[in-house]
Structure 1
Amino acid sequence: MIIGKKQMKTPLLRNGMLVILVCVIAGSALAQRGPGGRGPGRGKGGHGQGHDRDHVDFRYLLTNHQKIKRNVQELPNGVQTLTESEDPQVAAKIREHVYWMKERIEKKQPIRMRDPLFAELFKHAAQIKMVTENTPNGVRVVETSEDPYVVKLIQEHAKTVSQFVKRGFPEAMKNHPVPTTQKEAKKPEYIHPNIQRYGKVVQLPHAAQQPRAESKLCVDLTRGGATDQLNPSIEKIARYVNIYEGAGKSPASVQIAVVLHGDATLCALNDDAYAKRFKTESNPNLDCLHELHEAGVSIYVCGQSLIGKGSQPEEVVVFADVAVSALTSLVNLQADGYAYVPLLK
């Protein structure tokens, strides 16, 4: 029987297309396999589809943390961990999670970067070696480094993961500190970048919400205090000055105006008037108030409160201004673009 060329083409073409279709489907399945077959990575930078998948895996394990058993053995150069579950689904998810974490370490693709311990660990990812071995119920991991500091990070991370297994979501909501030795541990270093004796601050150059230049603060101060001591709220304003001057990454210009009324009104009396009123040697608030004035802080005293408490405008210290009222001061300052900051009772 003779078959023409045209008759042969049709089945050959159909069969060829079928083969291509099978290959495409098989390739797509392999790409989705993850731990069993090398599919696409988690994505650079810890975001995107890979990040979402990691998040889902992590939530699943936290939800099922009571089904997980974990053993940690510290080694001279790292740790050996065994994480398992008798639930096959949980065991499979443990293996998947470890597989992708190994990928992230090797490819330096961080995750959970808000947690100081995890952020520090990924900074040193190039110095970490991970060897994994699947077990019938989970996975064994040996994680090591030749750097003593990185060894401490690895060991602290292993302890933290054990706490995830023990406590679940409550532990995952915490930030975990970077480990230090007793010699390395330091008390906070307080500074006084502008006002020297008041309002100490700690410099946090990498913190969120840094001081913004050209800010304007309207401080509403009504809180009183012991008459023979500096009003703590007045010192807090000194802290505001120091925050903008040196607590952030760089100094930021700021305009601050404070309005004294209520129980804070008489803090601005001169020494003689204050001593007579409260039977003290002097006004313990004036030194700090004068430092604020020298730093450019505007000080307004509510005239209504002042007179209502039996004092007169001429008794107010020379570098403070008496306003018609706290109300007019607060309204005017906010109309001028000042942000309202209350220091109330």
Structure 2
Amino acid sequence: MKSNKILFVGQTLSVERPFLDPSTRYRCFNIAYALNKRGHIADVITLDEFIENMDIARQYDKIVFHRPFLKNEKFIDFLLKNNGSERIIADYDDLIFDVTNILSLPEIKTRDPYVKGTANYISRNAAACELFNNFSLSTTPLSNKVSSIFKGKNVKVISNALEDEYVDLSTKLFNLNKPRKYKLGYFPGTASHNADFNEISNYIADFLKENKKERLFILGPLKLPYSLSQYFHRIDHVQETVPFNHLPYIKANVETIIAPLGINEFNNCKSGLKFFEAMPLGCRVIATAIPDIDRFDSLYLDKCHVKSDWEKISLKKQFSKDTYQHELDKTLQKVGANNVAKIWEESFL
């Protein structure tokens, strides 16, 4: 395949350091780096940078806009001039373009009581989608939503991918074979998972009751439910967010990571990265079986299809290094950056 020039345009509030924004990192940087290794020239800039220097578009064969929405007149004019062009690709990793589904967004009425700001944002995403013919989506349910809402589009599933450097670091941390301080950990990431955590809090209480010397580690904003109040002194809760590149060192200190999600259309479209970020670190993961989690079959993954499946929290599992390597290879077949970049090539070049 001949070399192509590809520009990834990231939509992020971290304008100064977009690499530290997890969504931009997964949807732009990781794939761009892998495409460079495959002989292409792939660059990443922010949408603000693109708007300030739109002439740069002439230098590229393909331009991927991550989470494009109509927020700027210059950008709107660019999309209108390139309406339906094969050069431009819209990329989404969340269900943020379906105007009929706004009220199912996580804790929407708490974060935006009148839903006005969110409705405006979703509407601008939906309007942008009308101007694209090519789409890359992080999960199959998300791609199905695009196909059902915007008829006749070229829709491809491009999974979130693990870059080689992340895998190498994770493997090194695993091979240190250090004792892990915590048997159980939770990493909510954003302040929208109170209800998800509360749904399984009784199983966490059972774990803490049965394992009187163990502590629960939580990293991220979360309102602890009253049902766990008698165990608050055994919960180490760090509410501040930490840089993405610090997470492997923190997760490597946890044996089992839990990833509960409520069942709704928004969560159904989410990525299974809670599993495949943790697995290379040798962490066991117990997760709600959303479709992008359910596609994995791993000894390091316990999938919860019904609420009672969360009883698995109390199970103890240990694996050999040979088992770890086999499971890692299986996981990377689906989310290794080079394999995902190859799918990207086949889809858009």
What range describes the TM-score normalised by the shorter chain of this pair? under 0.3
Q: Which has the larger radius of gyration?
A: 1
Provide TM-score, normalisation by structure 2.
0.23
Provide TM-score, normalisation by structure 1.
0.23
Which structure is richer in relative contact order (CA contacts within 8 A, separation 6 or more)? Answer: 2
